[in-house]
Amino acid sequence: MAQYSKDISRTFSEYLLIPGLTKKDSIPENVNLKTPVVKFNRGETSELQLNIPFVSAIMQSVSDHRMAMALARNGGLSFIYGSQPMEDQAEMVRKVKKFKAGFVVSDANLTPENTLSDVAALKIKTGHSTVGITEDGTSNGKFLGIVTSRDYRPGKDDPGKKVKDFMTPFSKIVTGKLGITLNEANDIIWENKLNCLPIIDDNQNLQYFVFRKDYDDHKENPNELSDSNKKLMVGAGINSRDYKERVPMLVDAGVDVLAIDSSDGFSEWQHETLQYIKETYNGKVKVGAGNVVDKEGFLYLAGAGADFIKVGIGGGSICITREQKGIGRGQATALIEVAQARDEYYKEKGVYIPICSDGGIVQDYHMVLALAMGADFIMMGRYFARFDESPTRKLLVGNNYVKEYWGEGSNRARNWQRYDVGGKETLKFEEGIDSYVPYAGKLKDNLDITLGKIKSTMCSCGALSISELKENTKITLVSSTSIIEGGAHDVVLKDTN
């Protein structure tokens, strides 16, 4: 007969944090959220650390180069999705590594032959009112002009009007040359009373935009995550199929860390992938593995050489693996067991392997619970999909703005490599859905609020670091009636509309 686990499969919502002693120095500004990403030996520190314990999920609808830039600038890390041609993924990594503070790669571009209706559609899609006009409509094509909201009148001008008939042409635009410093670019902006300065190379190809509104932007990102060369850090997802071709391209593009993306990481496929990468690059290329939900899975991947291990199967908001296959475990229970295994491994081997909690986050306080239960950092999809910086469209559905969000196991993503179990056949059923999430605005604005909550909660627990949170926090199970008691109840709520 099958082996039965005595532990009940529990979620984060079934637990609460018990306050600890809040000392006089337990204030949010003293909280340090720095956390390791890759394994390290006792007495040493991790080669790669986050300034905030967040990474964005390896998903088409979440992590592209724009999200990677925005999250790294705020102290976290993105794993650019691997369910795309390896050349395109490598190019996204390259764009992040080439990013310079204040220098923005244009993702709103058209040709002179496009129309005003194309401009309007692009503005809705990207949220940007500044459109670069290039010969081929790409972000690095020959720069021919620019269109801003001052160049046309919505509702008055003909939607079929050609861009070339109302754009500001190159001959009338002040530009900067590639290689210019940010200070020099800002001087040109202020001297010429500009809102935007296009940066071009010697062949008149568009490279960047520098905006007046970003003048003080670098001062607003004290947690920026960058490497020794002051370049933003970025991760990338890989699979256990084409890694021999994909990994070299990503390494050449400058990727900082890799993660094998699979719904079930307890497999010989991942073992072979880890072994190949470690042997080929002599351990210098860092790669995480997963996902697992118990001690046995953790030890298997630890033995294979994983630099970090992801925990969680079926807990994502758009994941239906548990419904389809009956496989998985409550995220809290899985995390507690794997964290205990990690600590035992560290005590015995002297090697600390960070674990990443992937899935199951519904409320912001769940993030603190995940960290207290032993996670070193948290991977999230739905949370980041809501923001301007995610790669999906913003739509008006009913009376509310939403953003598209779909799972890697959905027909839309068609990322069968993430779910297959070997062999030549692809999956015949979906393990993810296609959905919407409420639009929430800019990443930074929302992230600041979330981090404020986390720091405040940690102060209530008497913890000023994630390690202190793990060591000292008390956690209690809650009953179903206790959960009801925790929200507004027995009152008539005012209508605030």
Q: Which residues are catalytic?
A: 319, 418
Give the span between the Cα atoms of 153 and 195, in whole angstroms: 19
- Which tokens is 53 given? 């314990």
Q: Measure the CA angle with vertex 353, ends 348 and 283; round to 5°.
A: 105
The residue among 131, 157, 153, 160 whose CA lies nearest residue 144 is 131
Are the CB atoms for 67 and 391 separated by under 8 Å? Answer: yes
What are the Cα distances from residue 292, in Å, to 12, 47, 72, 315, 351? 17, 24, 26, 12, 19
Are the CB atoms for 291 and 265 separated by under 8 Å? Answer: yes
Displacement of CA 449 from its chain's centroid (Å): 17
Three-state SS for 26-65 is: CCHHHCECCEECCCEECCCCCCCEECCCEEECCCCCCCCH
Give the span between the Cα atoms of 173 and 308, in whole angstroms: 49
The residue among 189, 491, 362, 43 whose CA lies nearest residue 370 is 362
Question: How many Cα atoms are found within 13 Å in the side-chain-facing hemisphere of 449?
Answer: 9
What are the Cα distances from residue 195, in Å, to 52, 134, 328, 439? 32, 19, 52, 27
Give the span between the Cα atoms of 478 and 387, in whole angstroms: 32
Which residues does 346 contact at the CB level (< 8 Å), separation at least 6? 42, 352, 353
What are the Cα distances from residue 234, in Å, to 11, 126, 209, 307, 456? 30, 22, 22, 16, 28
